[in-house]
Amino acid sequence: MSDAVIQSLEPYFPGLSFTTIPNGIDTNFFTPGAEPIPELAGTRTIVFVGRFDPRNGVKHMIRAFARLRQTRDNVALVIVGDGPLRPLIERMVPEALRRDVTFAGRVNRLRPRYLASAEILCTPCSLASFGMVLLEGMSSGCRSSPAGFPASSS
Distance CA 133, CA 61 (A): 15
Distance CA 143, CA 32 (A): 11
Distance CA 10, CA 7 (A): 5
For the entire predicted model, the pTM comes to 0.79
CA distances from 68 to 23, 29, 61, 108, 127 (A): 33, 32, 10, 28, 24
- pLDDT tens, N- to C-terminus, the chain (154 residues): 677 888 888 999 988 988 888 788 999 999 989 999 999 988 899 999 999 988 899 999 999 999 999 999 999 999 999 999 999 999 999 999 999 999 999 998 999 999 999 999 998 887 776 788 988 998 998 754 443 444 333 3
Length reported for the chain: 154
44-49/75-80 β-pairing: parallel
Distance CA 92, CA 103 (A): 12
Distance CA 93, CA 59 (A): 9
Distance CA 26, CA 11 (A): 34
Give buried/exposed letters for 78-87 (b at 16+ CB in 10 A, else e).
Answer: bbbbbeeeee
Q: Find residue 48's DSSP bridge partners.
A: 79
